[in-house]
Amino acid sequence: MFTGHGGYYQREWRNKKYSVSKRHEPFNLAQMNDRCKQLGGYLVQIDDKHESYNVAKFAKFAGGFGPFFTGITDVGSEGHFYNYNDKTPAKYLRWRWFQPDNFW
């Protein structure tokens, strides 16, 4: 199911709910995670290639192009990636070529 309102597009898949914002703004991990919490969730934690594919497909459907951001980070532990929201080790670390690059 896809719905769009308030600048956000939402979808349910595998008993998870996903929202994508079409806002184009500088990415700040803590601020974006706080915004997700205000909406009742957290930045996406991708667990496997199927979820990665579906999240990317959903982001493209919602009008996204170029990169999108997840809740996986290595802030404070360079090279050791974890989920920002709950600090658990990241399960799926396949990115686009030359990513992550700490540019965004």
Per-residue pLDDT reduced to its tens digit, 11-39:
777 888 877 776 666 778 888 888 888 87
pLDDT > 90: percent of the chain: 7
- Report the distance separating Cα 26 and Cα 24, nearest Å: 7
Residue 96 has pLDDT above 70, yes or no: no
| Residue 54: its H or E element | helix 49-61
Q: Quick one: pLDDT at residue 99?
A: 58
pLDDT > 70: percent of the chain: 73
Tokens of residue 86, six digits:
């709950």
Q: Which residues contact 18 (CB under 8 A, 6 or more apart)?
A: 10, 11, 12, 44, 55, 58
- Burial (Cβ within 10 Å: 0-12, 13-18, ≥19) of residue 47: middle
Q: Quick one: pLDDT at residue 55?
A: 85
Note the pLDDT tens digit of each residue in 36-70: 888 788 888 888 889 888 888 888 877 765 567 78
Tokens of residue 83, six digits:
């989920």
Q: Quick one: pLDDT at residue 88?
A: 94
